[in-house]
Amino acid sequence: MKLKKTMALVLGALVFSATGYLILDSKTTVAEIETMPVTHNNLSELESRSQLIVTGIPISSKNHVIRDEKGFTEEAFTITSFKVDNVYANKSGVKINEGDIIKVAEPVYTVDNGLKPGRTQFVIEDYEAMQKSERYLLVLRPDLKYPDLNVIVGVNEGKYNLDTSEKRVVNEKTGKFKDELIGKYNIK
């Protein structure tokens, strides 16, 4: 009888521990990386650094993390596949049409903490990753290392959620740029 009680207690403790670990392992901690991003004084400066201005929706995302032989992170970002619904400016030299899928590098990535429960999401300058099925206006330029990848110009100054009236103000100019771009290109 004592053996059955002991086995039941041990089994209960194992189930409790495993459940606790799984719950803790599903949590994501956010770590902000502060940088010195390029900021723009006006819309003209923002547009002059860009090669592509589009609207569309993100359809999938995946982490891109490259580590050196010692395990240190060399480069990391999220590659988001973005379905274009309108092209407003294109100086890239690459023909992009409505319905095309382009790749966009987002300055955010997530890593598993290994044996320590949970994941850590690293974000640059309070950037929020694009949400699937929400519509965005993006101001982009080609990546210097990966020719099929586009980079958001000015981090938060080059990405605007069109499905919300909220002007997410990371700095005081971002809401103004969103309104100016919508007005200039008659974006609906």
* Predicted pLDDT at 135: 97
Domain ranges for the chain, please list them: 28-185
> How do residues 91-127 score in pLDDT, each as one tens digit?
999 999 999 999 999 999 887 777 777 778 788 888 8
110-137 in b/e burial notation, b at 16+ Cβ within 10 A?
A: beeeeeeeeeebbbbbebebbeeeebbb
> How do residues 11-45 score in pLDDT, each as one tens digit?
766 666 666 655 655 676 766 777 777 788 999 99
Distance of alpha carbon 28 from alpha carbon 14, whole angstroms? 24
Q: Please, which residues have CB within 8 angstroms of residue 165's CB and are 6 or more apart in sequence?
A: none
Pick from 56, 63, 34: nearest CA to 140: 56
pTM of the predicted protein model: 0.80
> How do residues 119-177 score in pLDDT, each as one tens digit?
787 888 888 999 998 999 999 999 999 989 999 998 889 999 998 765 555 556 677 89
Domain 28-185: assigned CATH number:
2.40.50.120
